[in-house]
């Protein structure tokens, strides 16, 4: 059977408007609900980030407090490192006379008898000297002097050649080599060669460090 709408035309239009208004309200409510859920989610995320930031700031404050507490030890470590480097530099730039004498005992010929050995440290090898002044050939001073006796001039030449094997010495020079003699109680005469040989200490490759005595001031 065909359905017939017996409502007047005005009522039908009014009912259609009411249905449209209801749908609009429902859509608006759905939008509001969605926006509310989004706001709650964003607010929750913001609060979580705030809590995380507060925790990081608290950890940072603890670390900064520890850094401030350990600052004196860091200064001591830096001072210790500086002193170690200075001591290492002093050791490396020191004149190893004990090593030089040990090496001399290994290279001296059997027929050579040393009488005197004098050595001085040149000013170019003292702490605080500019490196340019300590360059090879910059100094003509006599740093080490050997005097002794031997039987032949050839032994003097061999002694000088062996001195060249000592790395701390350079510019080895024969100052004098003369014949000498001594008379014994039996009227016999002994002839020998009296010689003097000089050398220079090899300069440093790096400038010797300088140190100053620091006095601690009481607080």
Are residues 190 and 106 part of one domain?
A: yes
Q: What is residue 186's predicted lDDT score, i.e. its pLDDT?
A: 60
Same domain? For 37 and 116 the reply is no
pLDDT at 188: 65
Residue 219: per-residue pLDDT? 43
Q: Is the domain of 102 the same as that of 195?
A: yes
Q: Which of 213, 209, 217, 216 is nearest to 84 (CA)?
A: 209
Check residues 137 and 30 and name the one with the higher pLDDT: 30
More confident residue, 85 or 25: 25
Structural domain total, the chain: 2
Together in a domain, 159 and 64: no
Cβ distance 122 to 201 under 8 Å?
Answer: yes
**pLDDT tens figures, 169-194:** 889 999 998 888 776 656 666 778 89
pLDDT tens for each residue of 192-203: 889 999 999 887
Residues 68 and 104 in one domain: no
Q: Are residues 83 and 170 in the same domain?
A: no
CATH number (domain holding residue 119): 3.30.1360.100
Query: Could you tell me what percent of the chain has a pLDDT over 70?
Result: 71
What does pLDDT average to over the chain?
A: 78
Question: Is 192 found in the same domain as 108?
Answer: yes
CA 208 to each of CA 10, 83, 84, 90, 148: distance values in angstroms, whole numbers, following the listed order:
113, 14, 14, 6, 33
Q: In this predicted structure, what is the pLDDT of residue 76?
A: 84
> 167 and 104, same structural domain?
yes
| Whole-prediction pTM | 0.49
pLDDT at 117: 92
Establish if 208 belongs to a structural domain: no
User: Nearest to residue 92, comparing CAs of 207, 169, 201?
Assistant: 207
Residue 116 pLDDT class (50, 70, 90 cuts): very high
Same structural domain for residues 63 and 126?
no
Give the domain extent around 28. Answer: 9-92
pLDDT score at 95: 66
As a whole number, mean pLDDT of residues 151-159 equals 90
Q: Which residue has the higher pLDDT, 146 or 1?
A: 146
Quick check: is 2 in a domain? no
Query: Are both 101 and 156 inside the same structural domain?
Result: yes
Q: Is residue 210 part of a domain?
A: no
Structure-block tokens of residue 5:
């709408």
Question: Domain check: are 86 and 170 in the same one?
Answer: no
pLDDT at 209 over 80: no
Judged by DSSP in three states, 150 sits in: strand
10-19, 75-84, 135-144, range with greatest mean pLDDT: 75-84
Is a pLDDT exceeding 90 seen at residue 125? no
Q: Is the pLDDT of residue 1 over 90?
A: no
């Amino acid at each position: 059977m065909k359905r017939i709408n017996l409502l007047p035309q005005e009522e039908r239009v009014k009912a259609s408007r009411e249905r449209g208004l209801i749908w609009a309200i429902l859509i608006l409510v759905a939008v509001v609900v969605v926006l509310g859920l989004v706001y709650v989610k964003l607010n929750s995320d913001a609060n979580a980030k705030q809590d995380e930031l507060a925790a990081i700031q608290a950890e940072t404050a603890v670390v900064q407090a520890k850094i401030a507490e350990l600052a004196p030890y860091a200064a001591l470590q830096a001072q210790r490192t500086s002193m170690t480097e200075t001591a290492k530099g002093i050791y490396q730039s020191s004149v190893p006379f004990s090593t030089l004498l040990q090496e001399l005992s290994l290279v001296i010929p059997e027929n050579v008898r040393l009488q005197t050995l004098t050595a001085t440290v040149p000013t170019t090898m003292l702490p605080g000297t500019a490196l340019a002044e300590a360059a090879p050939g910059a100094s003509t001073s006599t740093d080490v002097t050997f005097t002794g006796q031997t039987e032949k001039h050839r032994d003097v030449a061999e002694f000088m050649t062996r001195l060249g094997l000592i790395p701390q010495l350079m510019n080895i020079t024969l100052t004098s080599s003369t014949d000498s003699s001594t008379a014994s109680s039996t009227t016999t005469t002994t002839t020998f060669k009296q010689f003097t040989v000089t050398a220079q200490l090899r300069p440093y490759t790096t400038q010797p460090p300088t140190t100053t005595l620091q006095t601690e001031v009481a607080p």
